[in-house]
Amino acid sequence: MVFLNGRLLPIEEAKIPVLDRGFIFGDGVYELVPVYSRVPFRLDEHLSRLERSLAETKIRNPHTRAQWRDIIYRLVDAQPFEDQGVYFQVTRGVAKRDHAFPTGAEPTVFMMANPLVTPPRELVEKGAAAVSAQDNRWLRCDIKSISLIGNCLLRQVSAEAGAVETILFRDGRLTEASASNVFAVKRGVILTPPKSNLILPGITYDVVTELAQANGLPLESRDVDEHEVRAADELWVTSSSKEVLAIVSLDGARVGDGRPGPVFARMYQLYQEFKQKVMRAGKREAVSA
């Protein structure tokens, strides 16, 4: 079952008009929330980011926070599987094709839940390969826009190289990767670029940052030069679906000793424990539409 404009229905029956501005202009924003054992992870943080993306793009938010939560729970409960990736997007709606915003268009809301696919154990233990590219996307990467052609083109570079991610540099500095944030480790210190218009403020980035702080792992949020990335002892990518994943080769060169490092092992463990804690709490705050 998927959700479209107020109704749960089978995906085959979910149809949108060709003049939807999401289809015509990529004029919309989205979110992806991981759900473990039917408990959404960091739901309020994802909803805050959605609200921010809508405000920044001046798309009317069609639902209150309580309504969003309610729809998500209905969708989660309608699936036969426990661990889910709940994708939702809001577009500016259906209107005659014209770049300027239409007046009176109703935002289109679409949501679906797919089985959550996190990295298999072997990849976690052995680490993954990445390649690099110049970050040639627009200057509002902080908005979670559905206009993802820049990210798709960059992701394809690593797909064609048989790698899991494309790590991006702009003006000699690390930004993020095509669909994840990036952390480097040098002499035990975790480094990651600060939030800015050049990166998506990742929910997993926040969790990793908080876990580092709470557990006394030194972390610096500062500009990271390309040469520091290439000379790092460890590299990680983070996202809601990849969680924390070690990168052990970059452009064919070994990262550190070519195996996931000790700081990664610690952070991976902390992340899994934190997930378990959230699941055990299992709380869904009172919801009503």
Ligand X SMILES: Cc1ncc(COP(=O)(O)O)c(C=O)c1O
Write out the residues near ligand X by the rule CB under 6 A: 32, 151, 176, 179-181, 200, 202-205, 238-240
* 3-state DSSP assignment of residue 269: helix
Q: At what angle do helices 65-77 and 43-57 cross, to 10 degrees?
A: 120
Q: How far is CA 186 from CA 124, 168, 269, in A?
A: 20, 19, 20
Nearer to ligand X, 94 or 239 (CB): 239
- Least Å from the CB of residue 258 to ligand X: 25
- Least Å from the CB of residue 186 to ligand X: 22
Which residue among 15, 126, 144, 242 is the active-site one?
144
Nearer to ligand X, 194 or 258 (CB): 194
Q: Over the Cα atoms of the chain, what is R_g?
A: 19
Catalytic residue at 275? Answer: no
Nearer to ligand X, 53 or 91 (CB): 53
- Least Å from the CB of residue 203 to ligand X: 4
CB 62 within 8 A of CB 3: no
Query: Residue 156: what residue type?
Result: Q
- Least Å from the CB of residue 30 to ligand X: 9
CB 115 within 8 A of CB 85: yes
Nearer to ligand X, 22 or 93 (CB): 22
H or E element, residue 150: helix 149-160
* Beta strands in the chain, from DSSP E residues, in sequence order: 2-4, 7-9, 28-36, 39-40, 84-91, 108-115, 128-134, 165-170, 173-177, 181-186, 189-192, 219-221, 234-239, 243-250, 253-254
> Which residues form the catalytic set?
144
